[in-house]
Amino acid sequence: MTASRRAPFRRNRLYLAGLSPAAFLLALFFVGPAIWALLSSFTNRALVGIDAANPRFVGLDNYVRLFGDPDFAKVILNSVVFVIGSAIIGQFVLGLGLALLLDYAERRGFLATSLVYAAVLLAWVNPTIIAGFLWVAMFDFYNGSLNVGLGHVGLGPIDWFGSGPMLAVIIANIWRGTAFTMLIFLGALRTIPSDIYEAARVDGANAFRRFWDHTLPMLRPIAALTLLSVTMATFGTFILIQALTNGGPALQTEVIALYAYHQAFQAHAVGYGSTIAVVMLALNLGFAIVFLRWSRARA
Amino acid sequence: MDEVTRQIMSRRRFLQVAIASGVVVACNPTSIGSTSPSQGGTAPSSGAGGSTPPSGGAISGTVNVTYPDEAGFKPKYVEQAAAAVKSQYSGVDVKIDLQKIGDDDFYTKLLLRLDSGDVPDVIHVGGSLIGELSDAGYIEPLDDYLAGWEDWKQYPKAVQDGVSYNGKTWAIPYGLDMRWLYYRKDDLQKAGLPADWQPANVQGILDAAAAVKSKDAGVLPYALYAGPAGSSGTADHAFVPLLWAYGGELQDASGKWIGDSPATKKVMAYYAKAYGDGLSPKEIITATKPWTAMREKLGNGGLALLFEGGWVYGGWAAADKAATEQNVGYLLHPTESGGPSFTVGGPGTCWYITAKSKNKQAAWEFVKAVNTAEIVGKLNAEDPHPVARTDAADVTEFKSNKYLVDSTKALESARFTIPSPDYPKVIQAIQTATARIAAGELSADDAAKRYTDDLKQAVGADKVTSL
C-alpha cells in the first residue's frame, strides 16, 4: 500500500526537479517583473522630478488617469489594427499559404524550394532592430530605396510614413514575422501522412476538398497555438515600430506597448507606464484564455 | 507654488537685463586677469551643518565623468581637463565615459543609471533639467564649492541665476543657448526676395516660404519643427518662439500652464498653414532626428528658412566658411505686430555633480578644470555658443569671430525658457499637440483646445488653465 503510494510521489519529485529550472527562469524574468509592474502601477514612481525622490502609493489614480486619457482609445485601436493586419491577416494567413506552397513543392522535389525557404528564414533570423533599419532604408523619404528607385523613373518621392504609416509598419512586420508561422505549419504539414491524401484522391476529392476536409482539421490545434503566440507577440511588439515611425506621425502608429514605453522612458513616468503594461498583460491573458478554450473545444 | 512662480517670472525679467550687462562686461578687454587674490576670504555662505569642502590638501580617488557628444567638439577639452586634474593631484584618477548618442537617449540612460544607484560623479546634461533633477535629489548644490572659487565672479548674474533653482546653484554652464532664424540668401533671391531679407512680422516668414515654394520645386521652403521627432526643438525652436511672437505666454501670473488661448490658436493656425500648404515637409514628423536632414539642407541650399540653435552655424562654417558667410543669413525671430524681434535663450548644456557621488571634492576639481576661461573660449569658438563666463570672450579664437560676437549681442534680445521641473513635461505636451496639427488631424481651433488636455495629462489638471 505504502509502496504503491510512494512511487508516484517519487515520480512527482522527479517532475518537480525537471520543471524547476524553467519555473525559476519564468519566476525571475516574467512573474517577478509582472508583480513589480503591478505594484508600480499603484504608485507615482518616476525616473526624475519630485516623484522620483518621494514615490508614494496613489491607489487607482493611474488607472483612472489611463481610462480618462483621450489618447488611450486611439492607441488601443491602433494595436487592434496592427494585430489584425500584421498577425492575423499577414503572418498567419501568409505563413499558412507559404507553408502549403513549400510543402507542395517539397513533396514534388522542386529545385528552388530550399532557396525560397532560405529567403523567408533570412527575414526572420535578423534581430528586430536590424529588420527595422532595413525597412527604414527602404521607406526613408530622402535616401530610401523606394524613393530613389521612383526617382530614377521620374516619379515620387512619396512620403511613405506620412501617407500610410500603419500600412508601412504592417508590411514590415509581416515580412519579418511570416517565417515563424510558416515554419510551424510546415512542421505540422509534414506530420500528415500522405496516404490520407491518396485515399481522398481515389475518392475523387479535388485539391480544395482535400485541404478543407483533411489538411485544415489536422492543423487546427497547432493553428490555435500559432495564432495565440503570433497575436501575443505582435500585441507586445514595439521595437520594429519604434525604429520605423516611433509611433508617429502624431499617434497614428502608436501601439500599446510603445505607449507604455514612451510613458515610462520618455515621459519618465514609470508608475503610469507600468499601469499601461498591466492593462496589456490583462488583455494578453484574455487572448490566451479565449484561444486555448477555442482550440480545446474544437480539438 | 505661487511663490516659486513669482520667483521664476521675476528672474526671467532680471535675466534679460543682466545678460545685457554681462555682454558689456564681456566686451571689456580688461576683464581678463582682474581676479582679485582674495581666496579663502569668503566663507561658505550656507555651510551650517553642511559639508564644507576642504580647502585644497590631499584629494584622491576616482572621478567618473559621463557626457554625450555626437558632434565631436568636446572630447579633446574633456581629456585636457582630466589630464590637468591628474597632474595636479597625483592621487586622483579621472575615468571618462563618452557616449556618442543623442542628448535624449543619453538622458534616459542616465536617469536609469541614477535610479539604479550606479552613480557617476560628474554628468553633463541640459540646464533646463535642473528643476526635475534637483527635485529628484540626483544632483548636488554647488554653493559651498562656488564660495571658494574666484572664477565664479566671471559668470554674469543672469547666467548664475539661469542655473539656480530654489535658491541654490546646481550646475556650471559653459556656453549659452540662443537661436536664429536662418535664411538662404541665394534661395530667397531666386524667389524674388532681397538678399538682405527682413520679415516685417511673423507672417512674413510664411510669405517668404510661399514665395520660395512657388518659384522652385527643388528647394524646401521652410522647416517648422513639430511632434516628438523634433525633440526639444519642437518647443524651443518652433512652438515657444511662435507663442511669444503672437503675444502668448507659457504660464499665467499664478504659475499655471496656459493651454488654449487666443495666441495658442494663432500658433496652431500658423502650423496649419505651414503644413497644410506644404511649406514645411511632413517628413519632419515622421523621420527620426529630422533636424539632421534640415540642418544639412539649409547648409547646402536645399532649405530656405529654418529657426534653429545658434550652435548649428558651426557645422556649416566648418564645412565651407566662405560659402556659409555668403549665403546664410541670420535674424532674430519677428513678432506678430512687427514689434521688437527676439531670440530664445537658455543655459545650454551644463556640468553637474551628482548627489550620491562618493568623491565630490575631486569631482569639483574636474568641473573647475573643464570650465577654465581657455577651454570655455576655445570650445565655444568651435561649437558656437555665447560664452557663459565673460573672460572666455577674450580668448582670441572667440573674439575674432564675427558670428560669435553677433550671437553674444543677440542675447540682449533673449527671452528665456522657464527653469521649472514641469517644463520638460510641457515640452512633451507641445510635441503631441504640434504633431496633431502638422498631421492635419484637427483644425487649428480644435488643436488649441486639445492642447489644454495634453497639458493636463502632462502636468496634472490643477496646474493648467486656458484663456
Q: Where are the domains of chain B?
A: 2-32+57-173+347-416, 179-344+421-465
Flag if A249 and B285 touch (Cβ within 8 Å).
yes
Q: How far apart are CA B141 and CA B254, in angstroms?
A: 27
A18 contacts: CB under 8 Å, gap ≥ 6: none
Distance from CA of A45 to the nearest CA of B (A): 11
Q: How far apart are CA A86 and CA A185, in angstroms?
A: 17
Predicted confidence (pLDDT) at residue B133 exceeds the cutoff of 60: yes
Predicted confidence (pLDDT) at residue B288 exceeds the cutoff of 60: yes
pLDDT of residue A290: 86
Q: How far apart are CA A173 and CA A241, in angstroms?
A: 9
pTM, 2 dp: 0.82
Contacts of A248 in chain B (CB under 8 A): 227-229, 285-286, 435, 439
Q: What is the chain A residue with the closest CA to B430? A: A250
Flag if B129 and A49 touch (Cβ within 8 Å).
no
Q: Could you give the 3-state DSSP secondary structure of residue A199?
A: helix
Using CB atoms within 10 A of its CB, is residue B253 exposed (0-12), middle (13-18) or buried (19+)? exposed
Task: Give the Cβ contact number of residue B181 at 10 Å.
Answer: 21
Contacts of B434 in chain A (CB under 8 A): none
Query: Are the C-beta atoms of B38 and B149 separated by less than 8 Å?
Result: no
Predicted confidence (pLDDT) at residue B4 exceeds the cutoff of 70: no
Q: How far apart are CA B209 and CA B220, in angstroms?
A: 9
Domain extents in chain A: 40-298
Q: Name the residue among B133, B428, B453 with its Cβ closest to that of A48.
A: B133
Q: How far apart are CA B356 and CA B139, in angstroms?
A: 8
pLDDT of residue B9: 42
Flag if A70 and B453 touch (Cβ within 8 Å).
yes
Q: Name the residue among B111, B286, B293 with its Cβ closest to that of A47.
A: B111
pLDDT of residue B365: 96
> Average pLDDT of B407-429?
88
Flag if A250 and B137 touch (Cβ within 8 Å).
no
B52/A47: higher pLDDT: A47
Distance from CA of B349 to the nearest CA of A (A): 18
- Over residues B27-46, the pLDDT tens digits come to 433 333 333 333 333 333 33
Q: What is the chain B residue with the closest CA to A50? A: B135
Q: How far apart are CA B227 and CA B454, in angstroms?
A: 13
Contacts of B281 in chain A (CB under 8 A): 141, 159
Q: Provide the H-helix boundaries in B277-410.
A: 283-286, 290-300, 313-319, 321-327, 360-370, 373-382, 396-399, 402-410
Q: Does A143 touch chain B (CB under 8 A)?
A: no
Flag if A48 and B138 touch (Cβ within 8 Å).
yes
> Average pLDDT of B211-220?
86
Q: Could you give the 3-state DSSP secondary structure of residue B298?
A: helix
Please give the CATH superfamily to which domain B2-32+57-173+347-416 belongs: Periplasmic binding protein-like II (3.40.190.10)
Using CB atoms within 10 A of its CB, is residue A38 exposed (0-12), middle (13-18) or buried (19+)? middle
| Confidence label for B24 from pLDDT (cuts 50, 70 and 90) | very low
Query: Are the C-beta atoms of A168 and A249 separated by less than 8 Å?
Result: no
pLDDT of residue B116: 87
Distance of CA A45 to the CA centre of its chain: 29
Flag if B286 and A251 touch (Cβ within 8 Å).
no
Q: How far apart are CA B97 and CA B75, in angstroms?
A: 10
Give the cell for residue A268: 519618465
Distance from CA of B458 to the nearest CA of A (A): 8
Weakest-pLDDT range from A82-96, B54-68, B221-235, B341-355: B54-68
Which of B161, B157, B216, B226 lies closest to B192, judged by CA? B216
Contacts of A65 in chain B (CB under 8 A): 457
Flag if B438 and A249 touch (Cβ within 8 Å).
yes
Regions of chain A with pLDDT less than 70: 1-9, 297-299
Query: Are the C-beta atoms of B410 and B178 separated by less than 8 Å?
Result: yes
Q: What is the chain A residue with the closest CA to B130? A: A49
Q: How far apart are CA B115 and CA B136, in angstroms?
A: 10
Q: Does A251 touch chain B (CB under 8 A)?
A: yes
Weakest-pLDDT range from B36-45, B233-242, B311-320, B377-386: B36-45
Q: How far apart are CA A146 and CA A8, in angstroms?
A: 64
Distance from CA of A275 to the nearest CA of B (A): 15
Which of B36-50, B197-211, B398-412 reaches the highest mean pLDDT?
A: B197-211
Q: Name the residue among A48, A246, A250 with its Cβ closest to that of B132.
A: A48
Which of B171, B214, B175 lies closest to B191, judged by CA? B214
Q: Name the residue among B112, B133, B228 with its Cβ closest to that of A248.
A: B228
> Average pLDDT of B273-288?
90
Predicted confidence (pLDDT) at residue B12 exceeds the cutoff of 50: no
Task: State which amino acid sits at residue B285.
Answer: I
Looking at domain A40-298, its CATH architecture is: Orthogonal Bundle (1.10)
B231, B286, B430: best mutation site toward chain A, by most A Cβ within 10 Å? B286
- Over residues A51-90, the pLDDT tens digits come to 888 889 999 999 999 998 888 999 999 999 999 999 988 8
Q: Quote the crossing angle between the two packed helices A270-298 and A216-235, to the nearest 10°.
A: 180
Q: Does B268 touch chain A (CB under 8 A)?
A: no
State which fold the B179-344+421-465 domain adopts. Answer: D-Maltodextrin-Binding Protein; domain 2 (3.40.190)
> What sign has the CA pseudo-torsion A38, A42, A43, A47?
positive
A48, A239, A240, A245: best mutation site toward chain B, by most B Cβ within 10 Å? A48
Flag if A136 and B457 touch (Cβ within 8 Å).
no
Predicted confidence (pLDDT) at residue B16 exceeds the cutoff of 70: no
Task: Give the Cβ contact number of residue B417 at 10 Å.
Answer: 23
Using CB atoms within 10 A of its CB, is residue B404 exposed (0-12), middle (13-18) or buried (19+)? buried
- Please give the C-alpha separations between residue B456 and each of A63, A70, B7, B282, B459, in angstroms, as whole numbers: 16, 11, 23, 27, 6
- Please give the C-alpha separations between residue B35 and each of B28, B364, B466, in angstroms, as whole numbers: 14, 20, 50
Q: Does B137 touch chain A (CB under 8 A)?
A: yes
Weakest-pLDDT range from A37-41, B58-62, B99-103: B58-62
Q: Does B129 touch chain A (CB under 8 A)?
A: yes
Predicted confidence (pLDDT) at residue B349 exceeds the cutoff of 70: yes
Which of B416, B370, B364, B362 lies closest to B392, judged by CA? B370
Q: What angle do CA B409, B413, B417 make, to 5 degrees?
A: 115
**Which single residue is written with the C-alpha cell 506620412?**
A162
Q: How far apart are CA A163 and CA B336, in angstroms?
A: 33
B43 DSSP 8-state letter: P
Q: What is the chain A residue with the closest CA to B226? A: A250
Flag if A141 and B286 touch (Cβ within 8 Å).
yes
CB pairs < 8 Å spanning A and B: 100
Predicted confidence (pLDDT) at residue B47 exceeds the cutoff of 90: no
Q: How far apart are CA B344 and CA A203, in angstroms?
A: 82
Phi, psi of B344 (to 5 degrees): -105, 120
| Confidence label for B57 from pLDDT (cuts 50, 70 and 90) | low
Distance from CA of A106 to the nearest CA of B (A): 43
Flag if B287 and A250 touch (Cβ within 8 Å).
no
Task: Give the Cβ contact number of residue B147 at 10 Å.
Answer: 16
> Average pLDDT of B311-338?
92
Q: What is the largest CA-CA distance in chain B?
A: 69
Q: How far apart are CA A229 and CA B345, in angstroms?
A: 52
Give the cell for residue A30: 516574467
pLDDT of residue A7: 63
Instruction: Write the ipTM.
Output: 0.79
Give the cell for residue B392: 572666455
